[in-house]
Structure 1
C-alpha cells in the first residue's frame, strides 16, 4: 500500500472566504486572539476620508516572536483536540485567517515581543499569481510603509499585535464603497462587540477570572451592555445551578416590565429606540464560552418566543473544554447543546418563564377580590378567544349612572358597548411588542386629583360620608392605580 501526499491547491484560500463570517463575527474572532494573548487595550481603526480602505485591530497583548507568528499564519496551526488554557478563546487554529480573509484580500499581521518586530502577509492576489502558498515576510522598514499613519501611532513599542486588512472587497460589496457606509457598518460593529465581550469590558462580581479590557473603535469606547440588568434591584434572579455531569452553570433572570425601566436600562439591553430591537427580540438563552457570548436570543425550540416570556433571560456558562459536546462552529457564533444539557435547560426555562408571565400579567396593578374593583372585565369566550367589556358594577360607573334618566342610561350603555367593541387590540399588541410605554399611568395621580372632587360631590349627593367615599373608591380602578390614592381622596373630603 502506498501513501500519496495530497497537498491542497493554493486556491483553497479563495474557497475559505465563504465560511460564513460577516464583519461583526470576523472582527470578534480576531479580538478573541487578543484577549487570549492577555491584551488590556484593543483598538480598532478604520480608514477616514482620503485614505485607502483598511481596518486594523491593534492590541497590547503578549505579542509573538517570529516562529510563533509564522505558526499563527498557518492554516489550522492549532489542533482543536489539544487541551487549552481556560481563557483560550480559540479552537480550530483557523480564526485569524478565515475571519480576516472573509473580509479582505490582504491580511498583514505585525507582532512585537521584547521590542522585536515580525510581519507576515497573506495576499490572495500574490498567491494566485505565484500559484503557491506564498506567505510574505516584510522587513521592519517596509512594515512602517505598509501601515497607515493613524495605525502607526497606535502600535505598541514593546509587545502587542496589529492585524491589518486591506483590499476590503467583501466589505464594500455588502456595505457600500464610501466612508459613510463604512461608518454605519462600524457603528453596528461597536454595538455588537459591546454585547459579545460585555463581561470582559464590565465583569460581573463573580467573574473573578476576568481582567477588565477596553475596546475602542476609532478612539470611542464600545457601548456598555448588560442583557440581564444585574445592577437593577427590580430584576428577579434564580440561584445558579450546575448542570449535572458537566461543568456548565445556568443562571436565570426575569427583567422588570418595560414601563419600569430607566433609559439607562434600555441602553444596557440594547433596546433603545435608535437600536430597533425589543424585549421580545432579545429573550431566551445567552450562551457564554469562557465568558465570551457565543449565541443569544433563542430558546433552542424549547419554548416559543412569546410576549409572555419576553422578560426571561437564561445565562449559561460553559468552559472551552466542552466545545465538541456543544458542536461549536468555526465562527464561534453558533453552538448546539448536548442532550444532557438540553434537558436541564428546558426544565430551567419552564421554571423561569413563570415569573416572566406573572410580571406581564400583574405589572404594577393593585389586585382585589372585589368584583367591582375593575374598570375592564375580561370575557373568555369559546376556544381561545377573549374580549373586554366595561364593568358596569364599578363604583365610578355606578356613581355616574345613578344620576341618569332611563333614556340617558340606555344611551350611555350603548356608548360603553361601542367603546368595548372598538378597543384597538391590534394596535395595542403592536405597541406592546415594540416596548412602547403607555403614558396614562405616569399621570394617574394628576387624574385622581382632578376627578376626585367631582366624584366627591356626586357621592355626597347620594348620601355617602367622607369615610364611605374613601373606602368605596380607594381600591377601585382607575383611582386604585395610584399609590397615593387614599391620601388624595382624604384630602378632597376635608376641603
Structure 2
C-alpha cells in the first residue's frame, strides 16, 4: 500500500493556542516541568513599570543540553505511553508549547547545563513570515538582548532553565493590558499555585518529597492546606489503599467555621474578598504525584450540601495511572475509573457523619438526653423539620412551674410565636457563605443569677438537695453552655446554706 506523508502546516501552532488554558493552568504546567527537573527554587517574574510586557519562569533544576532543549521544544517531544519517573509531572510532551503559546506569541527557552547555555525560541510571527517550522536558535549576545534585565539577574550559572513569554496578546485580551490588571491576575495566579503545589511548598510529613520554594515577583506563594492538617480540631480518617491499585484515600473533617482562626481561614483560602466558602470547596481533592489536579467535586457520588461542607477526601494517584484517569492535556481534569470510583463511593458514604456531628453540636458539653437542649428539633413528614422551645428542658420546666395560669398561657403563646418566626431563610443564607455567628456566651454574673433563682425554687418547692440540683442542671442548657456552669451551680447551693 502506498502512503503519503502529511506534514502539518505551520499554522498548526496558531490553532494549538485554543486548547483551553487559562493563565493559572498555563503557568502551573510550566512549573510542573521545573519540579520534574528537581528544582528547589522556582521564580515567576513579570514586567514592572517601564518594561515591555513579559512573564518568565526561572528554576534551578538540572537544566538541558542542546539536544534535550530541542526535544523539549518539539511538539510531543516525549512519548506519553513511555514509563515515567515517579516525580515526573509531565504527560503528553505538549505542555510547554501549548501552555506558553496559549498566553503569548513568543516562547523563549533558555537552559543551562554543566555551565553551557542553550537558547531556543518559537515566535508565531516569525513562523508565519517564513511559512516553515523554523525554531530560532539564539547565540549568547542575542540571548542577553532577549532576556529582561531582572530575568538575566536570576539566571542560573551552572544548571537551570528559564521560560520567557513575550507578546502576551491572549493574556491581555482576558486580563487587561494595564500593569494594574496584570498585578490582579498575578495575585490570583499566586493563590492558585499556592493551592496546586501546596504539598511541594509545605510537604506533609509522610510525603517524603523535597521542599520547593515558589515565588511570584520575589514573594512566596501563600501557604495553603485544604485539610488543615496542622489544626488539632481537624478530624482525619484512616488512610485507605484501594485494592489492586496504587491509589489511596484519606478523609478529613474540618472544624466548624466558628472554631476557625484567621490563620486557618487564610490557609483554606477563605479570607474576605475571595468569594469562596466551605460549601464551595467540599469534595474530593485528586493529587497526581503530589500535584493537585482537580478539587471541589464529589463526582456525583454525594450531593453537595451544607451537611457535608466540612468534608474533604484526599485522593493520591501515581502518574502511572494517567490512562485509567483519562487525564487531560492541561492536567486540570481527571475522571476516576470504575474500580476507584466504586471505592470512592463506599468511602464517602461514611464520611459525612463526622461533618454533620461537628456542625450539629460544635463543642458543647450538653448531654444527649432529649430534655438537655432549650431548642428541640421536630422532624416532620416528607423530610421537613422545625424548631420548637423544649418544654422538657429542666430550666424551661422550672420557669413554667413558677408562673400563674395566665402567665403560663401567655408564655406558651410567646414560645409558639418565637418558633413560627424562627429566621430559617436568613440563617441558611448566612451559613451558606460561612458567615460566622457570635458564639452564645453568658457572663458569670448572669449565669449565677439564673442559677440562684432556680436553686431557691427547686430547693423550696421541690425539695431538691444540692447534689440533686447540680446533677439535674450541669449538662442541661443554658448552664452547659457556660464553661464553669457546674461550678456556678455548686456555688449557689453553698451560698444559700
TM-score normalised per structure 1: 0.95
CA displacement at 1:457 relative to structure 2: 5.4
CA displacement at 1:317 relative to structure 2: 1.2
Aligned residue pairs: how many?
A: 494
Tell me how far apart the structure 1 counterparts of residues 449 and 13 of structure 2 sit (CA, whole Å).
74
Match of 1:277 in 2: 276
SS of the residue 2:267 aligns to: helix
Tell me how far apart the structure 2 counterparts of residues 319 and 339 of structure 1 sit (CA, whole Å).
17
SS of the residue 2:332 aligns to: coil
User: Per-residue CA shift, 1:150-188, capped at 9, x if unaligned?
Assistant: 111111111111111111111111111111111111111
The answer to whether residue 69 in structure 2 is matched with residue 76 in structure 1 is: no
Aligned 8 A contact 1:195 1:225 in 2: yes
Shift in CA distance, 77/470, structure 1 to aligned 2, threshold 3 Å:
same
Match of 2:408 in 1: 409
The answer to whether residue 383 in structure 2 is matched with residue 356 in structure 1 is: no
Tell me how far apart the structure 1 counterparts of residues 215 and 271 of structure 2 sit (CA, whole Å).
21
Tell me how far apart the structure 2 counterparts of residues 80 and 280 of structure 1 sit (CA, whole Å).
36
Aligned 8 A contact 2:69 2:118 in 1: yes
The answer to whether residue 191 in structure 2 is matched with residue 191 in structure 1 is: yes
Shift in CA distance, 243/445, structure 1 to aligned 2, threshold 3 Å:
farther
Q: Which runs of 5+ in 2 are unaligned?
A: none
SS of the residue 2:344 aligns to: helix
CA displacement at 1:94 relative to structure 2: 0.2
CA displacement at 1:394 relative to structure 2: 2.4
Alpha-carbon RMSD across the aligned residues, in angstroms, is: 1.9
SS of the residue 1:325 aligns to: helix
Tell me how far apart the structure 2 counterparts of residues 33 and 70 of structure 1 sit (CA, whole Å).
15
User: Per-residue CA shift, 1:278-310, capped at 9, x if unaligned?
Assistant: 211111111111111111111111111111112
CA displacement at 1:115 relative to structure 2: 1.7
Aligned 8 A contact 1:56 1:164 in 2: yes
Q: Which runs of 5+ in 1 are unaligned?
A: none
Match of 2:149 in 1: 149
Shift in CA distance, 450/197, structure 1 to aligned 2, threshold 3 Å:
farther
Q: Relative to structure 2, which stretch is displaced further, 188-197 or 389-398?
A: 389-398
CA displacement at 1:6 relative to structure 2: 0.4
Match of 2:123 in 1: 123
Match of 1:221 in 2: 220
Match of 2:317 in 1: 318
Aligned 8 A contact 2:113 2:159 in 1: yes
Tell me how far apart the structure 2 counterparts of residues 450 and 147 of structure 1 sit (CA, whole Å).
75
Shift in CA distance, 442/162, structure 1 to aligned 2, threshold 3 Å:
farther
Match of 1:241 in 2: 240
Tell me how far apart the structure 2 counterparts of residues 469 and 444 of structure 1 sit (CA, whole Å).
21
SS of the residue 2:314 aligns to: strand
TM-score normalised per structure 2: 0.95
SS of the residue 2:237 aligns to: strand
Pairing 1:247-262 to 2, within 5 Å after superposition: 247-262=246-261
Aligned 8 A contact 1:254 1:313 in 2: yes
Tell me how far apart the structure 1 counterparts of residues 442 and 50 of structure 2 sit (CA, whole Å).
53
Tell me how far apart the structure 2 counterparts of residues 349 and 444 of structure 1 sit (CA, whole Å).
41
Match of 1:339 in 2: 338
Q: Relative to structure 2, which stretch is displaced further, 126-135 or 160-169?
A: 126-135
Shift in CA distance, 54/446, structure 1 to aligned 2, threshold 3 Å:
farther
Aligned 8 A contact 1:444 1:481 in 2: no
Shift in CA distance, 242/404, structure 1 to aligned 2, threshold 3 Å:
closer
CA displacement at 1:259 relative to structure 2: 2.1
Tell me how far apart the structure 2 counterparts of residues 347 and 372 of structure 1 sit (CA, whole Å).
35
User: Per-residue CA shift, 1:33-88, capped at 9, x if unaligned?
Assistant: 00111110000011112221111101011111112111111111011011111111
Q: Relative to structure 2, which stretch is displaced further, 341-350 or 379-388?
A: 379-388
CA displacement at 1:258 relative to structure 2: 2.1
Shift in CA distance, 45/77, structure 1 to aligned 2, threshold 3 Å:
same
CA displacement at 1:364 relative to structure 2: 2.3
